[in-house]
Amino acid sequence: MKQRGKRAAGLLLASLMLLAGCRPPTASDQAPLVIAAYGSIDSVDPAQATTVIALQLISALGDPLYAIDGQGAIQPKLARALPKLSDDGLTATIPLRQGVLFHDGTPFDADAMAFSLRRFLAIGKLSYVVGDRISAVRVTGPYELQLDLRRPFSPLAKLLSFASLTPISPTAYANYEAGFRPNAFVGTGPYELRLQSPQLQRLEPFAQYWGEAPRNDGIALVGMSTSTSLYGAISGGNVDVLLSTSLEPEQQSALHQQANQGQLREGAGPALGIGYITLLTDRPPLDNQTLRRALAFSLDRELLTKRVTDKLRPPLRGLVPPKLPGALAAWPRADASRARQLLQQEGYCSGEVLPLQLTYRSNVPTDRLLALSWQEWLRSRLGDCVRLDLTGMESTTAYRQLGDGAFQMILLDWMGDYPDADNYLTPLLGCTQSEGNRCLEGDSASGGSFWTAPGLEEKLRLSNERRGQARLDLLDAVQREAANGVPYLPMWQTRPRAWARNSITAPQFDGSGRLNFASLSRRSLP
């Protein structure tokens, strides 16, 4: 790290903290803990928030109905128990916690929860996540809520752990029922939002919080725009905690090594993110299933993850993170001989070379490194069969063009909105209108693969209605069919990491991958 980067990070932090009226983090035990993350927050309205840093902030300011603990178990939060389902599975009754206050002093009750859910369904950017499952919200008692489901949905409690469903005060948002409220959040969580700007949020403990009080005297969340400034901030001792989002692979590896040497304290969340390559399956040459299978055998995940991420991102051979129930490693391991055999079967490797175009997101450092590494692997082992050409494109532009079929192959990633197999398989494989193996309308089409299989949508639907082993069997069948069709090449798992100075307790994450701000505290060093 150049000294210039460290000085820039320090100057940025100093200026932001002066604006917030904060003291340097080492001034006293009462000073706020300074946490640095990538990006900025333009709104903390839960109906509008979609970015990792915004949802992280909302998780500290509010409580969901349910939470996922560090072991992956569902825990009631503002709900008192798991949803009670009717015999037909179409109605869920949820008892709510009493004695909870919003930050403005108004009580949390069924009317408040219903207000927030209805508002999200009406105007939320991600409203489809809930609206596809829930048709109506009804108040059946002062502290009892009833949800009408469009069809039986067994992972309902996990869906209701989604951070965007955190309730907000109807009083504070009365004038924003049909629109977004900027620069304010009035929830029930352990912290109150005292200052909000795109790069700095000041959080103070809520004195009337119903649950366990934070172990610190507040948080200053600082957003930075480059990996250089993030790395310089923790390396120079200018922040107490650093979230790993958007750090370069070598920077994460360096911090990991420093933690192993006792220079920093490291915490890691569950591996709920997946990286994968989307294949355009509805036009030549990748409408040929045999060629797609050949590519599946040409991806040496173990080698590539070691080369690109220093093993910080474990290899992935399925569309569902292995941590979640129902996950299946159905994609094959690398086998250059088998890949060559399949390519030869289609007329390549004997003077005929298959040209392929891979697009990577130019603003995602690991994308370019992975693309170059795979290109090198193919050139060295299958160069007489395949030629891989690379194109970089900024991610926002790329996502806008996915549904147009603009990319023969593109590197992407996905972090589920809630930790369940459904929230990976449906966004990647869902298809509401099809013709043979071609998806005409639905998630598969909008995601750029345009692949489906006869009966696959029905299996997906039934997997969400069933429980226990019956559900696991259907999830298994869906994933095996997808692996055979090869619309995607799963690459690796991603997990959030955080590093803290030795004067701070080790960072802890919940089962949804959110850093637990309230568990952080200064500690006495020996």
- C-alpha 480 chain-centroid distance: 24
The per-residue pLDDT for 525 is 56
**Tokens (6 digits) for 197:** 């700007």
CA distance 41 to 52: 10
pLDDT tens digits, one per residue of 51-107 = 889 999 999 999 999 999 988 899 999 999 999 999 999 999 999 999 999 999 999
CA distance 369 to 256: 19
- C-alpha 60 chain-centroid distance: 16
As a whole number, the mean pLDDT across the chain is: 93
Note the CATH number of domain 1-61+189-270+496-526: 3.40.190.10
| pLDDT at residue 110 is higher than 70 | yes
| pLDDT at residue 505 is higher than 60 | yes
- Closest of 138, 82, 131 to residue 111, by C-alpha: 138
Q: Are 269 and 400 within 8 A, CB to CB?
A: no
Q: pLDDT category, 285, cuts 50, 70, 90?
A: very high
The count of C-alpha atoms lying within 13 angstroms of the C-alpha of 340, restricted to the half-sphere facing its C-beta, is 12
Q: Containing H/E element for 255? A: helix 249-260
Q: What CATH number does domain 273-494 carry, 3.10.105.10, 3.40.50.11540, 3.40.50.300, 3.30.2420.10?
A: 3.10.105.10
The reply to whether 63-176 shares the fold of 1-61+189-270+496-526 is no
pLDDT tens digits, one per residue of 429-478 = 999 999 999 999 999 999 999 999 999 999 999 999 999 999 999 999 99
Q: Are 356 and 408 within 8 A, CB to CB?
A: yes
pLDDT tens digits, one per residue of 135-184 = 999 999 999 999 999 999 999 999 999 999 999 999 999 999 999 998 88
**Tokens (6 digits) for 7:** 């000085």
Q: pLDDT category, 15, cuts 50, 70, 90?
A: very low
Look up the pTM and report it: 0.91
CA distance 119 to 130: 12
| Widest Cα–Cα separation across the chain | 76
| pLDDT at residue 21 is higher than 50 | no
pLDDT tens digits, one per residue of 186-220 = 999 999 999 999 899 999 999 999 999 999 999 99
Q: pLDDT category, 14, cuts 50, 70, 90?
A: low
| pLDDT at residue 342 is higher than 70 | yes
**Which of 38-42, 92-96, 401-405, 479-483 has the least mean pLDDT?**
38-42
Q: Are 150 and 121 within 8 A, CB to CB?
A: no
**Which of 41-55, 97-111, 369-383 has the least mean pLDDT?**
41-55
- Return the percentage of the chain with pLDDT > 90, whole number: 86
The per-residue pLDDT for 356 is 98
Q: Are 490 and 274 within 8 A, CB to CB?
A: yes
Single-letter amino acid, residue 308? V
Note the CATH number of domain 63-176: 3.90.76.10
CA distances 216 to 15, 57, 185, 195, 235, Å, are 23, 16, 20, 17, 22
- Please tell me what DSSP assigns to residue 404: G
**Tokens (6 digits) for 440:** 């005409």
The per-residue pLDDT for 70 is 87
In this structure, which long-range contacts are made by residues 286-290, counting pairs with CB atoms below 8 Å and at least 24 apart in sequence? 286/356, 286/408, 286/409, 288/346, 289/485, 289/486, 290/342, 290/345, 290/346
Residue 425's SS3 state is helix
Domain ranges of the chain: 1-61+189-270+496-526, 63-176, 273-494
